[in-house]
Structure 1
Amino acid sequence: MISLTIGTAGHIDHGKTTLIKAITGIETDSLKDEKKRGITINLGFAHLDYEDMTVGFVDVPGHEKFIKNMVAGVTGIDAVMLVISADEGIMPQSIEHFNILELMGLKKGFVVITKTDLVDEELVEVVEEEVKELVQGTFLENCKIIKASSKTMVGIDEIKDFIRELASQEDRDLSLENPRLAIDRVFSLRGVGTVVTGTLANGLLDKEDTVLIYPQQISSTIRNLQVFSRDVDRVLAGQRTAINLRDLDKKDLNRGDDLALPDTLRLTNQIDCKIEIIESTDRVIKNNSRLHLHIGTKEVIAKIKILNNTELVGGSSSYARLKIEEDITVKRGDRFILRFYSPLETVGGGVVLDPNPKRKLNEIIKEIDFIEEDYNLKSYIEFLLKVENSFLKIEEIIKNTVFNYEYIKKVLFELESRDIVYNYIFGRKIFAIHSQVQEKLNNKILDYLKKNEKENNISLGIPKEELRNNIFEGIDKNIYNEFIDKLVTKNLIKNTNNMITTFDYYPEMNLSQKEKKRELLIKLSNQGKDILNVKEYRESQESSNIIDYMIAEEELVEINKDEVILKHNLENIKEKLIKYLKENEKITVVDFRDLIESNRKHSIMILEYFDSKNLTKRIEDYRILF
């Protein structure tokens, strides 16, 4: 189904509201104060039915005092109808509205010259030339200009036909996006409950969906949906909708809040962006200036940090970081308006490039310049992964973009097929890492292992957990295990009983170490044939390394921490035990102590070792063969 929402723009009293009534038959001046004063203060709404679709209209206020409502009104719209009256021509709010439309990144629209019944044809042509001059070099250059009169209905059918043509150009795949709605009204109805309204900016929203209200992060479910006062089961991006929410109180919600699916938006108080200052302003934007930021339907105060500490004047642009005085929700590509702090005046706007900056602005200027020029999702994911310089959850990409889990997953798999990204998948959890970052980690691990192997030529390797703590601190254990497995598969490292070495490494003693090993064996042999305590030998790093080497080579058997037994002595004990049990079926600790001529403590330790190796099995106070 096609959905299209058109917003009006233009100076006060140029006939926007009357024109919408002529097109749709619906009066959008609904507030008593609006009726009395004859101007639109808040947002008004109307719709026009075609055979196969319905087009929505958002009537925005033209008066300069209500510019914030105008900015809220153009949030989520698909096209604009710029209204200029034939009797007055282009006026201050005509220009300010048009500047706002440009800054908000709108791509489609048309111009209607109204009140043509009040002037002669010659003056209408003059206004038409003024309009062409105004829109030159903008998104409305060469746009359709329709001359109309709401009084005589001249041009109204032409407007309807052109709107139908605009709607047919919509080809966006909404199934790839997560739904998001900037709330512009909150009210309560008796017997119904709390209702919020807005224009759905992205995706599809269904009845009974579980949603979160941001920034409060309050959960609710959708009891009912309405589009153009009709109950529906699904709302499409671009449609004006009223949403009836369960178990929420009106007082907990505000205009400017956002409604979305859980875990699809992030709260942030700073954004990296590209700023453009309108040519007509004579205001100078200095570094660290406080400005009014209008984004979505929210108005907040932000401090601007301009790249290279420059000043911004009319017609200039720059990369900047906005530090916001409260948490907001934004995504990459979101458009916003900046107004001078005092007096209130629209000075510029921009686009969000990074909604969650993690480095200083001047450190990422090359990357930020790249993503400003390239809005391709694949390129943006590459940027995110390089900036992250580690593993990134798919949820982080979802929160930064308008796209949903399934589509981002598909893109990640495509990037992996081109060896740009490596994905680590655990059920629905996906962690991605850029191939260049993975290569750096590979080299970091190999360098760490090689350093250890160079310093200790008989090292058995680095314990797997120690390697994780030193190089992968804070990384999910499942990711780490799979990362190590990948390196093993590629024959870059070996994992022997959770001791990690480089693939080609093998411990080998030099002559000096061999001599020390021989001396150590003599000392240990002289201690007897029982369990030996090697704690004093561990005090020397070299001796400790030799002991570990002998354990690995199975010349010594580790019974307990710092307690070992010579392998051939243990084998002799084992043979005696097996022979005894074959003849007697079972043995007690006392019998075993007497059999091997040891003490009770060591006897228990050796029996427990045999239990752990499934040679013996303990039953009550005796052992049998396993």
Structure 2
Amino acid sequence: MKKIILGTAGHIDHGKTTLVKALTGIDTDRLKEEKLRGITIELGFAHLRLPNGEIIGIVDVPGHERFVKNMVAGASGIDLVALVVAADEGVMPQTREHLAICDLLGVKSGLVVLTKADLVEDDWLELIKEDVSDFVRGTFLEGAPMVAVSAVTGQGLEELKKTLAELVAKVRERSEGGPFRLPIDRVFSVKGFGTVVTGTTISGRIRVGDQVEIMPRRLSARVRNIQVYGEDQKEALAGQRTALNLQGLEKDALRRGDVVCQPESLRPSYLLDLHLRYLAENERPLKTGSRVRFHVGTDEVMGRIVLFGCEEVTPGGEALAQIRLEDPVAVWRGDHYVIRSYSPVITIGGGVILNPLPPKRKRTQPRHYEELSLLKEGRPHELVLYHLRQAALKGLSLKEISIRTALFGKELEEVLRDLKKEKKIVLIEAEGREILIEGQHWQELKDLICQRLEAFHQKNPLMRGLSKEELRSRLPSELDSRAFARLLSELVREKKVVQDQEVLRLASHQIILAEDQERLKQKIEAVFRRAGLKVPDRDEALSRFRDQPELAIKLFDYLVQEGRLVRLKEGLYFHSEVLKEVEKKTVAFLKRHGEMSIAQFRELTGTSRKYMIPLLEYLDQKKVTLRVGDKRVLRRKDL
């Protein structure tokens, strides 16, 4: 069965609530004040079984101008609208405003219901039909069915049900794909159950026991129970009027306008990029910086409209804009919104959200207008690439891309597959999740690594290269460690970079010493070779070459990088051949005796305690020896 929501729309006292009661037997005026005043103030809900067995939800909205914000909240989740016009009055101010709101909210299908048909003559009814036909011309209701009814006599009610069934068969129902979202339109508590919220499920599905988030408040709860059209269900689907019993939250923690959603499927934001339609009925232009009432889902937030590409938008015009809100909202790209003027409070426009998480844009920068144009006209591939460019080196997870583009499941998979095939994006594993980086940024990172190495080589021509950690510190801090490892792997595979243990260099880098440099290097090396195990500390050794101090330091570092000199601790270096001889003697001794004390090692090497302990720790670190108590044994049998 299809899951469709029908919404009423129309002027106050044109019989919307009475019509719903006549169709369903449900009185949607639930408040005492509504009963006393005879007008709908709050949203009302009912459901109707059609002649073909389909069940549709009904949202009955208030018609009074003071409660239009409630009307917008109800209309945000409807698939089909019944524009109600009283036959004895015809088109009135809220008739016009309600139709405009439905159009701005993206409603594409509906019908006109002429109520109170029993109060007028046939000739008058025909005149009203012509008048209403003229009124809806050029709107989504042009050519829509028009049914005259009387809730009092029952005239036309069966025809109306039949017409609704025909319309429902043609309406495209909401996709159950994508994460669950339910904008809250009512919050209350039930004794013995706790907090209950109601709304229209506008995407995805929810099951009993599921964890949910409430945005933009970032609250968490668990679904204890679900009702659809007043009956307990194990799950609710997109397009159904839904009541959720939430465990873990008090009633006062929630309000109309909040969104119940699948965890990590929405992000709160004070900024939204928009495409704006400004109604032709407006009397004056809308200027940039105007304060407006912003309606999205079931929420109403104050904000200021900032226009791009123009200073003002004239009645009937369109514009690209950003709204700066006074309170955050949580939405997706493609969600519809309505704006109403601050004072007097009337509907002046609306449109579609282009970017739910934009940067704060500046009207003085032409690129921002260009970006908004791309967001409005761009294909899914272009949108994904745009958001990845904005994320730069941080990249975006699949969930973050979905939040920004409203692409989910197979649709997103197809887009990403094409982009990876064209090498326009790179997918990496980072901190337990997949991260996507735009291909151009990826190449810029590889170029940057090569530039950093080139700069290092030019400044330090006698050094073999940079350590991985040192190179990492010279790159942007937002670069993830796994992304860094992947970059190095690709550069090595492309033979642009050579990795020697923890040292990196450009493949083109070679150290060629001049004759005087080679002579000085040999002199420094000779000092440590001749010293054997009684080496001077670094500074003492280099002090012998005071005529070329800077070059001596560089050549000393070169010898360390080449492995000719080995650092055992701060300031203490031995020649590699001397250490090899110590290792050879130690292994031979342990093979003969099985173990060796510190005294035996001192006797074996003929060195003092100053050098003996660092030497033993060096052999331990090299995994030649293993310390057992105060003695050493061979760690490996193959030595």
Distance 2:112 2:549 in 1: 87
CA distance in 1, matches of 2:143, 2:210: 42
Q: Deviations over 1:135-160 (max 9, x none)?
A: 33333333333344434444433332
Structure 1 partner of 2:181: 180
The answer to which of 382-391 and 209-218 deviates more is 209-218
Q: Deviations over 1:306-332 (max 9, x none)?
A: 225612332232222211112222221
> 2:580 & 2:415 partners in 1: Cα distance?
59
2:295 matched residue in structure 1: 294
1:202 partner SS: coil
> What is the CA–CA distance in structure 2 between the aligned matches of 1:493 and 1:135, rounded to whole Å?
69
Which residue does 2:392 correspond to in 1? 389
Greater shift in the superposed pair: 271-280 or 456-465: 456-465
Q: CA distance change for structure 1 residues 399 and 522 in 2, over 3 Å: closer, same or farther? A: same
| Aligned equivalent of 1:615, options 624, 628, 633 | 624
* 1:114-263 pair list within 5 angstroms: 114-170=115-171, 174-263=175-264
CA distance in 2, matches of 1:541, 1:5: 81
1:267/1:329 contact within 8 Å kept: yes
CA distance in 2, matches of 1:58, 1:173: 16
- Alignment of 1:3 onto 2:12: no
Task: Give how far 1:58 is off.
Answer: 0.5
Equivalent position SS for 1:20: helix
CA contact (8 A) 1:194 1:248 kept: yes
Query: Separation in 2 of the partners of 1:528 and 1:57?
Result: 94
My pick for the range that moved more, 141-150 or 181-190, is 141-150
Give 3-state SS (helix, strand or coil) of 2:82's partner. Answer: strand
Secondary structure of the structure 2 residue equivalent to 1:183 = strand
- How many Å apart are 1:2 and its aligned residue? 1.7
Given the superposition, is the C-alpha separation of residues 105 and 169 from structure 1 closer, same or farther in structure 2, using an over 3 Å criterion? Answer: same
Aligned ranges 1:298-447 → 2 under 5 Å: 298-307=299-308, 310-361=311-362, 362=365, 363-374=367-378, 376-390=379-393, 391-402=395-406, 408=412, 411-425=415-429, 429-447=433-451
Change (3 A) 1:618 1:161: same
Which position in structure 2 is the counterpart of 1:89?
Answer: 90
Cα distance in structure 2, aligned partners of 1:509 and 1:171:
77
Question: Counterpart amino acid of 1:556?
Answer: L
The residue type paired with residue 332 of structure 1 is R
Query: Deviations along 1:564-608, whole A, 9 cap, x unmatched?
Result: 211222223333333333444433333323333322121111121
Q: Which range moves more in the overlay, 235-244 or 472-481?
A: 472-481
- 1:514-538, CA deviations, whole angstroms, 9 ceiling, x for partnerless residues? 2432342244446555444324659
Find the aligned partners of 2:251 and 2:566 in 1 and give their Cα distance.
72
Q: Aligned partners of 2:453, 2:550: CA distance in 1, in Å?
A: 18
AA aligned opposite 1:219: S
AA at the equivalent of 1:379 = E
> How far 1:178 moved relative to its partner?
0.7
Deviations 1:507-564 (A, max 9, x none): 4434453243234224444655544432465996644443333233332223234432
**Given that residues 174 and 239 in structure 2 are in contact (C-alpha distance below 8 angstroms), is that contact kept between their aligned partners in structure 1?**
no
AA partner of residue 473 (structure 1): S
Q: 1:497 to 1:39 in 2, by over 3 A?
A: same
Question: Matched residue of 1:365: which SS?
Answer: helix
Secondary structure at 2:370's aligned position in 1?
helix
- What is the distance in 1 between the residues matched to 2:62 and 2:45? 12
What letter is aligned with 1:53?
Answer: E
Aligned CA distance change for structure 1 residues 490 and 166 (closer, same or farther; 3 Å): farther
Structure 2 Cα separation of the partners of residues 282 and 437 of structure 1: 48
Distance 2:441 2:31 in 1: 58
Q: 1:604 to 1:469 in 2, by over 3 A?
A: same
- The farther-off stretch of 330-339 and 16-25 is 16-25
Question: Is 1:479 matched with 2:479?
Answer: no
| Displacement after TM superposition at 1:370 (Å) | 1.5
**Hey, what's the Cα distance between the residues in 2 that align with 1:312 and 1:547?**
72
**Amino acid in structure 2 at the alignment position of 1:441:** L
CA spacing shift, 1:568–1:230, aligned 2, 3 Å:
same
State whether residues 282 and 313 of structure 1, in contact with CA within 8 Å, keep that contact through their aligned partners in structure 2. no
Alpha carbons 2:174, 2:202 under 8 Å: kept: no
Task: Work out whether residues 277 and 316 of structure 1, in 8 Å CA contact, stay in contact via their aligned partners in 2.
Answer: yes
Give the conservation status (yes or no) of the 8 Å contact 1:176–1:407: no
SS across alignment from 2:287? coil
In the TM superposition, 1:430-509 aligns within 5 A as 430-509=434-513
1:15 Cα deviation from its structure 2 partner = 2.1
For 1:165, give the aligned amino acid: E
Distance in 2, Cα, partners of 1:519 & 1:167: 94
- C-alpha contact 1:283 1:347 (8 A) present in aligned 2: no
Q: Tell me, yes or no, if the aligned pair for 1:589 and 1:600 is still in contact at 8 Å.
A: no
Query: Matches of 1:330 and 1:348 in 2, distance apart?
Result: 18
Aligned length: 625
**Amino acid of the structure 2 residue aligned with 1:28:** T
| Residues 394 and 405, structure 1, Cα contact 8 Å, conserved in 2 | no
SS at match of 1:389: helix
**Matching residue's letter, 1:42:** E
Corresponding residue SS for 1:224: strand
- Are the structure 2 counterparts of residues 448 and 423 from structure 1 closer, same or farther at C-alpha, using a change threshold of 3 Å? same
Contact 1:6–1:57, Cα closer than 8 Å, also in 2: yes
TM-score normalised to structure 2 length: 0.90
Give the corresponding residue for 2:559.
550
* C-alpha deviation, 1:212, in angstroms: 1.9
Q: CA deviation at 1:257?
A: 1.6
Shift in CA distance, 385/512, structure 1 to aligned 2, threshold 3 Å: farther
How much does 1:414 deviate?
4.7
Alignment of 1:19-34 (within 5 A): 19-34=19-34
CA contact (8 A) 1:292 1:338 kept: yes
Counterpart of 2:102 in structure 1 is 101
Q: Distance in 2 between matches of 1:170 and 1:496?
A: 65
* Number of the residue aligned with 1:572: 581
Q: Measured at CA, do residues 413 and 528 of structure 1 come closer, stay the same or move farther in structure 2, by a change above 3 Å? A: same
- The one-letter code of the counterpart of 2:69 is K
1:181 maps to amino acid = L
Distance 2:448 2:58 in 1: 58
Report if the CA contact (8 A) 1:176-1:406 is conserved.
Answer: no
Q: Could you say what secondary structure the match of 2:312 adopts?
A: coil
List alignment gaps of at least 5 residues for structure 1.
none
Specify whether residues 128 and 173 from structure 1 end up closer, same or farther in structure 2 by C-alpha distance, changes over 3 A only: closer
Structure 1 CA distance, aligned partners of 2:121 and 2:507? 89
Q: Please give the alpha-carbon distance, in whole angstroms, between the structure 2 residues aligned to 1:143 and 1:563.
A: 92
Cα shift at 1:254: 1.3
Deviation at 1:206, TM superposition (A): 1.0
What is the CA-CA distance between 1:93 and the residue it aligns to?
A: 0.7
Distance 1:301 1:479 in 2: 41
Return the alpha-carbon distance in structure 2 between the equivalents of residues 136 and 126 of structure 1.
16
Measured after TM superposition, the shift of residue 196 of structure 1 is 0.9
Shift of 1:182: 1.0
